[in-house]
Structure 1
């Protein structure tokens, strides 16, 4: 998968929501995000998303998954957020 999504200037979805984002992981080092991205496999109907931003600690990168329909995917409370700000 392309690493270009890490160039997107966008906060992690828990801080700046993205439609139908259902899973994401946050990384403090770009290399960790790249390594994770290289290992993610998704089925048809899913899309890898990602980006970078910064907070009071410093820079971060994130990788996530977007589905075409939350209703078809499952319950919105089942959204998996690793590295969500505010936890």
Structure 2
């Protein structure tokens, strides 16, 4: 399994621009979610990434789907983390 989170697998991320941009997007969602509700965090990350050219074309075309999936993935990740902490 490869870790494509920010700060991991730099060689891989440099070799694949789309994967690098996805990693940057996910990192923004996570950072914003520390201080905002997840829905707002996702929307802010999408706006910033489009403005800065990070996955811009994809996010512009697929904004609603990207938003739904990001919220779902973040909620699932949070749920799994809580389950581990309770074990």
Larger strand proportion, structure 1 or 2? 1
TM-score (norm 2): 0.25
> Which structure would you say has the larger RCO, counting Cα contacts within 8 Å and 6 or more residues apart?
1
- TM-score of the two chains, using structure 1 as the length reference: 0.25
